[in-house]
Amino acid sequence: MAVNVPLAATTDRTAGQTKKGMSGDSISGAFIVVIEGEPDVLAALELLLEVFGCTVLAAAAGEQAAARLHGFAKPPDAIIADYRLDGGTLGTDAIRTVQQAAGGGVPGILLTGDTSPERIREARASGFRLMHKPVRTAVLKSLLAEILGSAASHRKPGN
């Protein structure tokens, strides 16, 4: 799997920001949990999201991420998980573990390199968004912006 990471990014983080720090397709200010069993891929995704201006909790498993959530002041804005994790664990279960620890309502994205129709059906049936590997930088950023914008528009005032 390959992740394209820009060497440098320039963004104007003051123009048109919402109270959450995101505007348009910008995801700056978002808190993202990444669950990936492959250390190099995990590090690349963490770096990419940090370049976007996100706060990242990177973990190899859902239980590990859930246990580390208490160190953060707010719940995550989104969870990204590889579909197939170590030990036969599925990313769907990892996302649900983190959602439960965060009090629910956190959108999830599954990453998969598996192209079998059965695996793709299973992943889509989970209700989480699905991205295929290799992850394309612009596509990931756009999907996160869409999910975060949608989640923000469905929150009730005061939440």
User: Per residue in 44-86, pLDDT tens?
Assistant: 999 999 999 999 999 999 999 999 998 898 999 999 999 999 9
Q: Which residue has the higher pLDDT, 39 or 7?
A: 39
User: Per residue in 75-86, pLDDT tens?
Assistant: 999 999 999 999
Of the CA atoms within 13 Å of residue 158, those in its CB half-sphere come to 0
- Nearest by Cα to 78 from 122, 43, 108: 108
- For residue 13, count other CB atoms closer than 10 A to its CB: 13
- Nearest by Cα to 141 from 6, 11, 21, 26: 26
Specify whether the CB–CB gap between 70 and 94 falls below 8 A: no
Note the pTM of the prediction, 2 decimals: 0.80
Question: For the purposes of burial, counting CB atoms within 10 Å of the CB of 91, is it exposed (0-12), middle (13-18) or buried (19 or more)?
Answer: buried
